[in-house]
Structure 1
Amino acid sequence: MAKTVLITGGASGLGYELALLFAKDTYNLVLVDINADNLKQAKETLEKKYNANVRVMLKDLSQVNISEEIVAELGDTAIDVLVNNAGFGLFGTFATTDWDREAKMLNLHVVTTTHLTKLILKGMVARGSGKILNLSSLAGFQPGPLMSLYYATKGYILSFSEAIANELKGTGVTVTALCPGPTKTSFQQVVSEGTSENKITFNMATAKDVAAYGYKAMNKGKSVAIPGGFNKFLATLPRIMPRRLATSIVRNIQEKNRAD
């Protein structure tokens, strides 16, 4: 029988590129997204291109207890692979950014990612097989002035993923934290909602390339996957230099990109 993957934020960007890879490998797909038009287009394209079995769920993943709603709608459908991809950023100083948007980001990145993982993981462990791919970021390796909560939540996802990956050794279930650098997706539009946009263009990767790297790393069972040699180097810097200096460097990069 074909395996089933559930992808949050699966209707566009990196999530959609991952969906294409899973569909090519004959997975059944459950795509969860907040954008109805994107979900419809993704479903039509995947079904036409790969004759894939695609189920869509229109959900706001920033809502509390949305994970229980998703799992309830899945019913008896066993999820063999979970991809926690959905996310967005917010640019600006913490003292001035909008709390309602920040609360949604915290719920999405931290609560929903953790809760959905917990609910679906139980079945994976019981079956003795499964894969989880959590979208962290290069941002997860250091503090990030002007995007403080985004960096902090991505650090949480990285730490959480590494910890449970260790706990799950020998169970047949693997957990991979994918930590890309700047990636060309709709993130750049979402990050600016209600505030100034952070137009990061330096070291920009394509969603297709990042998805391919993450997909391969997940299938190998790697616990942390950082695409790109330069990004791997950047991830080590906070470990070999004072954190105050690393934080200042990030601040300078953020300010430069905002000015550009």
Structure 2
Amino acid sequence: MALTPPAAAQAPDTAFTRLLKIMDDLRENCPWDKKQTLESLRHLTIEETYELSDAILSNDLNEIRKELGDVMLHLVFYARIASESNAFTITDVLNGICDKLITRHPHIYSDTEVNDEADVKRNWEKIKLKEGNKSVLGGVPASLPALVKASRIQEKARGIGFDWENKSQVWEKVEEEMQEFRDEFNAEDDTMIDKDRAESEFGDLMFSLINYARFININPEDALEKTNRKFIKRFQHLEKKAQENGKQLQDMTLAEMDVYWNEAKKM
């Protein structure tokens, strides 16, 4: 017998209760939902997070709303699975994050005084250490993509005052790392290089560039993704124009391709 779906709600609390009821129905009655585990959902959650990221970068508010719903479903799903073994419930999850926010915002919920955002971040890291974290960098997930991880490492270090004083110092570091990277090979010929040393210097250069981006309030992950999208758009224009003119890219000269590429840059 078909179940009666809970009616749409107008208030946040009743809308959330509606989602919980639907999750219970699915977990108890749907063959696919009944089979899922914390592990089986993990890669799907990562995928949903990237889809949310895509929607944000596209500034598509309707898609952002939809993707937030998908992520919310996953959070409720994890809590439902955990409740079945009496590990924790969604109520535990919600109270846990509320308690954390209250504890880590003593300038709001206690008598701590702050002057700016930097003070808030420093207090946040100090409180985390008091809670048992052995290292300021301990909260940076090991599995984060390297570009994002570098940004988070630098932000964490800055939170306790380990940082450059001004951006000119950071730019000097960028130039220093660029020269050290260049010193590992001759850019004008094909001389053999020590790959390990060159890779190390390239990593140092990227880390310093990410650091400089932070000083001028540029998110390096967003910046690189926008460049990726720009390249894809221009390259697909190149492919389209070549096809319209009956040409194969692999048979065209670089000069011929540049004509279409420069067209795309003006679009």
Question: TM-score, normalized by length of structure 1?
Answer: 0.29
Question: TM-score, normalized by length of structure 2?
Answer: 0.28
Greater relative contact order, per chain length (Cα 8 Å cut-off, separation 6+): 1
Q: 1 or 2, which has the higher helix percentage?
A: 2
